[in-house]
Chains A and B, each alone.
Chain A
Amino acid sequence: MIGDWLDIGWLNEIPVRGARTVPVEGGEEIAVFRTSDNHVFALLNKCPHKQGPLSQGIVHGHNVACPLHNWTIALATGEAQGEDKGCTPTIPVKIDGGRVLICRASTLKVAA
């Protein structure tokens, strides 16, 4: 049986204030972030501006600065902050026993 959640690995595999990527075969890449207070967020690995790989940006608070043009994206909502307009799709995440799980249905929808 296929679960509703995809187990992608241990929380410790994601650097604090950093991100790791999960490519979806035949689709887009997902970025999974870990903040300094140990919250985890999953988003499509694309800035709404020029599709920069958000996973490579600098994480501060619950935001990431896109590496291409320094847009700030809120990790919880995917919304561009400040004057910039745009939104990156987000995926529900949960932590269970130190494992990071991302929502299967949302992943398929976002990455398709």
Chain B
Amino acid sequence: MDFQGHNSSTDEAMIDTADRAVPHLVVVGNGMAGCRAIEELLARDAGRYRVTIFGAEPHVNYNRIMLSPVLAGEKSFDEIVINDRAWYDDNGIELVAGDPVIAIDRAAKTITARSGRTVHYDKLLIATGSDPFIIPVPGKDLPGVISFRDMRDVDAMLAAADRGGDAVVIGGGLLGLEAAHGLSLRGMKVTVIHLMPTLMERQLDEAAGWLLKNALEARGQTILTSSDTAEIYGNGKVEGVRLKDGREIPASLVVMAVGIRPSVSLAREAGLAVGRGIQVDDHMVTSDPDILAVGECVEHDGNVYGLVAPLWEMCRALADGLVDKPTGYRGSVTSTKLKVSGIDVFSAGDFGGGAGAEDIVLRDASRGIYKRVVVQNDRIVGAVLYGDTADGNWYFDLLKKGEDISAIRDLLIFGQAFASGGGPDGGRADPKAAVAALSDDAEICGCNGVNKGRVIACINNGAATLDAVRATCKASASCGSCTGLVENLLAITLGDEYAGERAVKTMCKCTSFGHDDVRKAIVERSFKEIPQVMQELSWSTPDGCSTCRPALNYYLLCAWPGEYKDDQQSRFVNERLHANIQKDGTYSVVPRMWGGITNPRELRAIADVVEKYDAPMVKVTGGQRLDIFGIKKEDLPAVWADLNAAGMVSGHAYGKALRTVKTCVGSEWCRFGTQDSTGLGVKIERMSWGSWMPHKFKIAVSGCPRNCAEATIKDFGVVCVDSGYELHVGGNGGIKVRATDLLCKVATEREALDYCAAFIQLYREEAHYLERTAPWIERVGVDYLKKRIVEDDIGREALRARFLYSQSFSQDDPWAERAAGADREQHHHMAQFFPMAAE
């Protein structure tokens, strides 16, 4: 690149008359990138160019990322100025502030500013940064709607805060949360509206985003996730925001902080190559060799950056090129480290990685810490830290250098001090040695205040397993984050005697707790969301697995009826689509037939559905109803609408839920019948349909001991006799047939219903997820059930009451909701591709 070959004979036509011997470098943009580029250039060769900087704002160069502290009242504008007037003067730079450049004439090599001023350039540097993205909703132009990008926006927010009242921030990303924090400190009541389910989803994973939301809410902000803005309303000025779900949030100030877009219009109008940003090569040169670009407005190798670190790297490469010592920019790996409302957050790299990426997770519930490091091929590829970011830079450094971490892998998550500490030779410590080196009064379990000496004493006194330690000295019995330490102590103290086995089977590989511990913690410690359980109980994965998520979803649903919001994505497909998936990917549909009784209207509707949707088969089930096979997921809502129209609801044949109540015809028709078994069956089904259970649940009512309804291989079976009702529990067909145990005999239909409700609730509350009543009863013993249900009248009544309360929230037909349009996306393709039509 030859920047020197300037021919003075053409200068006659030029508008400005400055010294022609030195080439003129004009910078469009007086922001962080433009000025940093000039600083880098001055450091290399101060006399090489004559520099003129045009800025749209009427200020000297200031640090835009420090606008948040200015808003929060922690800094003044003067304190965030990077280069004052003297810098421009001392370096002979002409600053044209408050006069944005509006056109580039590449043929004449001139730029024109809004004032009409036209200037010739030899080299032009575009550093226009980015523009806030304004979502195109009605009311976006009302007075009181602002973005958060420059000093003028901050002044507007400060003025609004002086008047007090309510503010809405649209956007729960980095910028939005900083605006919300500042406004909150300034005394405004702030609501953050965020489209995504978790905050800062670009930087944080679900677990960290959930922690952040909780912390911000504790500081008085209202955070509405999964919320979409429909309009900003107000008469002449902002009065509030209306969401798509109809909610209205009053506000006198609305800050739009949903994102930024590279500011490319000037470059595009000048005919430069523009993609998402102004396209540049490794030396920051655009498609015109005399025009360069740097900062947030550029696209390099397909990437656009919105953070400050890449900008510094670009400026170095740009300056090297300008002084003919090109080095080249190779793209940036970025990290984010920030304080949101006093909470430290860090993220870097990719949380996903490709094949073989593994998560190392550390959670410390008592200190509110979540750390996740993603390792692939013995190298760190990503990290998310919440609450303690001290090791962020260390992880980022290891990540950028691509260092092999296999030697320190076991200790990596504990941070640099732990991992690089170790033995007297400075060698890497293994976890056991590190634990052995701890003093006796070192705290092992923060939750229960247990030190190492006490744990060892308790092991020496005979606690030879983790559970024994938990039971005796309480170490590791609460959040579980010290489980690894306690296990190491067991191994050190017992040596070969330590079997290393847990007495209780853990729920899955994500946790060291068993089902019972988790259920108990949910109820006793009032855990109400899946990410909360995972954080408080130190889950070792960021978002669980296909074993623990459905279990936790059920446990929460069971513990907090009417309060817990069901997580569809934590349910198996059948429960998500309210139909049974078949081997060919189609679904089968079973409408409920109360007690196995049907009528011409229902049968006609079923026949019509079979024909209308070309169902290849309809079959009578073992549970006395009809199963329609071969329905496509797209057709399900329409099928349900047709069945609903004939008065039928979901049969839950797909769910860990009440399936059928099978009956015989009983005393109404049968010459042997002793009681009205069909009538009782219908009543039981009406009472218990729609309830979610640990596993599928089948009931039958037989009208006499001949037991035609096969009640003694059901989860709950009633066998009617002359003197009343025998209640049987814990039977099933299936792989291992088990006949029921007799629970008791009752005299009246009312009692049969009440005992049934109590039994179902006990099973719902105490069985493990995916454990049917048969193995559950073998585990706890039928005597235990008798004690709880038969002998304890008050306890039985309480169980029944809890079941009926829970049922008051669960007896809405899921089919009717779907048929009415709920969760449409579950049933529709996202797009379709027609290769032939497109070619």
Which positions in A face B, CB cutoff 8 Å? 2, 6, 8-9, 12-18, 20-27, 30, 32, 35-39, 50-53, 56-62, 65, 67-68, 70, 72, 74, 76-77, 79, 96-97, 107-108, 111
Contact = CB atoms under 8 A, between A and B. Distances in A.
B552 to A, nearest CB: 12
Contacts of B545: 60-61, 65
A66 to B, nearest CB: 9
A22 B831 contact: yes
B385 to A, nearest CB: 14
B838 A2 contact: yes
Nearest to B261: A97
A13 B359 CA distance: 27
Contacts of A38: 196, 201-202
Contacts of B354: 76-77
B76 interface: no
A105 to B, nearest CB: 11
B585 A58 contact: no
Contacts of A22: 829-833
A25 B832 contact: yes
B764 interface: no
Q: Which of A16, A23, A58: most chain B Cβ within 10 A?
A: A58
Interface in B350-364: 351-355, 357, 359
Interface in B526-582: 541-546, 549-550, 568-574, 576-577, 581
Closest 10 CB pairs of A and B: A65-B546, A20-B830, A56-B573, A17-B569, A8-B831, A67-B573, A36-B206, A58-B546, A77-B355, A76-B354
Interface in B336-356: 351-355
Main SS class of interface, B: loop
A41 to B, nearest CB: 9
Contacts of A13: 825, 830
B834 interface: yes
Interface string B191-208: 000011110011001100
B276 interface: yes
A4 B143 CA distance: 43
A111 B831 CA distance: 14
A61 B543 contact: yes
A26 B543 contact: no
A77 B352 CA distance: 12
Nearest to A79: B355
A12 B195 CA distance: 9
A107 B195 contact: no
Interface string B817-839: 00000000100011111111111
Given A26-B836, A76-B354, A56 B576 contact: yes
Contact of B546 (A18, A51, A57): A57
23 contacts: A2-B839, A9-B830, A15-B569, A17-B569, A21-B830, A23-B833, A25-B834, A32-B830, A36-B205, A36-B206, A36-B542, A36-B543, A37-B205, A37-B542, A38-B201, A38-B202, A52-B583, A56-B577, A58-B550, A60-B546, A60-B549, A61-B545, A76-B355
A39 B350 CA distance: 9
Contacts of A2: 838-839
A85 B832 CA distance: 30
A25 B832 CA distance: 7
Contacts of A56: 573, 576-577, 581
Nearest to B582: A68
Contact of B837 (A12, A15, A25): A25
A67 B571 CA distance: 10
Nearest to B823: A15
Contacts of B198: 16, 36
Interface of B: 195-198, 201-202, 205-206, 276, 351-355, 357, 359, 541-546, 549-550, 568-574, 576-577, 581, 583, 585, 825, 829-839
Contacts of B353: 62, 76
B833 A76 contact: no
B359 A61 contact: yes
A37 B830 contact: no
A37 B206 contact: yes
Given A25-B835, A67-B573, A37 B829 contact: no
B833 A58 contact: no
A108 B583 CA distance: 25
Given A22-B832, A37-B205, A59-B569, 8 more contacts: A24-B833, A25-B833, A26-B836, A60-B543, A60-B546, A65-B545, A72-B546, A96-B276
Given A12-B195, A36-B206, A62 B833 contact: no
Given A39-B352, A96-B276, A58 B830 contact: no
Contacts of B546: 57-58, 60, 65, 70, 72
Contacts of B835: 24-27, 108
Contacts of B542: 36-37, 61
Contacts of A21: 829-830
A23 B327 CA distance: 47
A61 to B, nearest CB: 6
Contact of B833 (A36, A61, A68, A107): A107
Q: Which of B201, B354, B837: most chain A Cβ within 10 A?
A: B354
B836 A37 contact: no
Contacts of B574: 67
Contacts of B197: 16
Contact of B544 (A32, A60, A67, A107): A60
A20 B823 CA distance: 12
Contacts of A60: 541, 543-546, 549
Contacts of A67: 572-574, 581
A30 B583 CA distance: 18
B133 to A, nearest CB: 10
Nearest to B569: A17
A60 B510 CA distance: 11
Given A6-B833, A67-B581, A97-B276, A62 B352 contact: yes
Contacts of A39: 351-352
B831 A15 contact: no
B585 A53 contact: yes
A91 B839 CA distance: 20
A17 B568 CA distance: 9
Contacts of B832: 22-25
A50 to B, nearest CB: 7
A10 B367 CA distance: 38
Contacts of A107: 833
Contacts of B581: 52-53, 56, 67-68
A17 B570 CA distance: 8
Nearest to B195: A12
Nearest to B567: A17
A79 to B, nearest CB: 6
A76 B356 CA distance: 10
A32 B544 CA distance: 21
A24 B355 CA distance: 27
Contacts of A62: 352-353, 357
A76 B354 CA distance: 5
Contacts of A111: 833
A68 B201 CA distance: 31
A106 to B, nearest CB: 12
A19 to B, nearest CB: 9
B829 A20 contact: yes
Contacts of A23: 829, 832-833
A24 B297 CA distance: 37
A111 B549 CA distance: 31
A106 B64 CA distance: 43
Contacts of A59: 569
Contact of B549 (A35, A53, A58, A77): A58
B274 to A, nearest CB: 13
Nearest to B576: A56
Nearest to B226: A16
A51 B546 CA distance: 19
A42 to B, nearest CB: 11
Contact of B201 (A20, A37, A72): A37
Contacts of B571: 58
